[in-house]
Amino acid sequence: MVNRRHFGTGMIAASGMVLLAGCGGADDRAGRAAPVANDLRPTRNAGYARWVDGFQARALGQGISAQTLSRGFRGTGYLPGVVRRDRNQVEFKRSLEDYLSIAVSDERLRKGRAAFGRHRGLLRDLEGRYGVDAEIICAIWGLESFFGERRGDISVVSATSTLAYDGRRGRFFEQQLIAALRIVQNGDIPASRMVGSWAGAMGHTQFIPTSYQQFAVDYTGDGRRDIWSDDPSDALASTAAYLQRNGWQRGVRWGRETDSGGLQPQAGGPRFATTANFRAIKRYNNSDAYAIGVGHLADRIAGGGPLRADFPPDANGLTKRDRVALQRGLTAAGFDTGGADGVIGPKSQAAIRAFQRARGLEVTGVPSPALLRMLS
C-alpha cells in the first residue's frame, strides 16, 4: 500500500481539497464520541449472509481456523451506514484553510499540549528509539483520534466484511478482513474488542489491519500489540515504527512556511518548503493537506506560532475572520452554528437557512457579505 489507511476516520483527499471525517469538523468540535448511529448496527441482509458463507470457505483455505471464524463473526453483521458513508465521502470536501482551522483548532492544540505533557517520557523515548520527533507522533495521534478520544467503536469484522461484500473495493477490504481475523487468531486482541472506524481503521492512530500486521509494535512487552488499549504506548510506538520504516530521517524537520517558492496547496495561501520527512508523513496518509496539518500541529505543540501568511477570501468573498463573525452573529441572533471557527459546515449552513427563512429571504444556506452586514 502507498499509505497506511485510505479510508479510515481521518481520510483526506490527496488534492488541494480535503475530506473531513474523523479528524473532526466544523460541526464536530467537542471531541466527544457520538453514539453509534442506527445504520451502523448489524442488519439482516440475505446477500451479505451468502457472501459471508463463501468468504469463510476462502478464509479456511488461507489458514484462518474455524474457531477464529466463529469468534470473529459472532455478533457481527451487515452495516448499511458503512456503505452509505463510503459512497458519500466526496460530499465533504474542504479547503486547506478550513482543514487547518480544524486540524490545529484551539481545542486540539490545547488537548495536544496536555497530552504531550502527560506522555512526555513515552514520546521522548520513542523519539530516541525510532528517530521520529515526539511532537510529530503526538500530532498524528491528535489528527487520527483526537488524542484517543475518538478511536471508534464499530466492529472491524462487520465494517470490512460489509465493504468487501459491497464490492466497490471488494478485493482490498477482503484483504483487510483476512488480516483482521489473523490478528484475532494471533491473540493480540479478542474479536469482541477489535473495534474501530466505519471503514475498519483501528486504535489510537487508526491502523488498517494489513498495516497493523506489518508495523504494529509491542512496546509494553506484554506479548500483545494492543493499539486499542486506553494506554496509548503500543499505538504510538507503532506509529513511530511506521514512519521510521517509511523513510523518516532523524534530525530533519518536516518542513516550514516560506515566503516564496515551495508547495502552495491553496492558491493565494501560504507556501511551504518541505523535506523527505514530509513525504514520510504522506506515506501515512497520502495528502499534502494532511502532512501540513501534522507538521503544523506538531510545531504548535512544541510552542511555535500560527502561520504568518493569510489565506485569500473564499468563493463567497469572505475571509476566515468574516466567517467567524458571521457564525457569532448567527448564534447571537438565536441560530446556533455549534461554534465559531470560520468553517461553514452543515450546522452553520442550517443556521443560515433558518435565519434566511425567518427574515423572509431566499433560502440558500450560502454565506455572503450581505448576510454578514445584516448580522453585524
- For the segment 183-202, the average pLDDT, to the nearest whole number, is 96
Give mean pLDDT, residues 104-119.
98
Residue 12 confidence (pLDDT) above 90: no
pLDDT of residue 90: 46
Task: State how far the Cα of 147 lies from the Cα of 125, in Å rounded to an integer.
Answer: 18
Give me the chain's average pLDDT, please. Answer: 90
**Exposed, middle or buried, 376 (CB in 10 Å: 0-12/13-18/19+)?**
exposed
**Residue 93 pairs with which residues in a beta bridge?**
19
Task: Report whether 232 contacts 148 (CB < 8 A).
Answer: yes
Per-residue pLDDT for 79 more than 80?
Answer: yes
Instruction: Collect all residues with Cβ–Cβ distance below 8 Å to 147 and sequence separation of at least 6.
Output: 111, 112, 115, 138, 141
Closest of 251, 226, 250, 221 to residue 238, by C-alpha? 226
Q: Considering the entire predicted model, what is its pTM?
A: 0.89
pLDDT one-digit tens code per residue, 197-206: 999 999 999 9
Tens digits of residue pLDDT in 319-375: 999 999 999 999 999 999 999 999 999 999 999 999 999 999 999 999 999 999 999
Is the confidence at residue 38, as pLDDT, over 90? Answer: no
pLDDT higher than 90, residue 24 = no
Confidence bin at 168 (pLDDT 50/70/90): confident
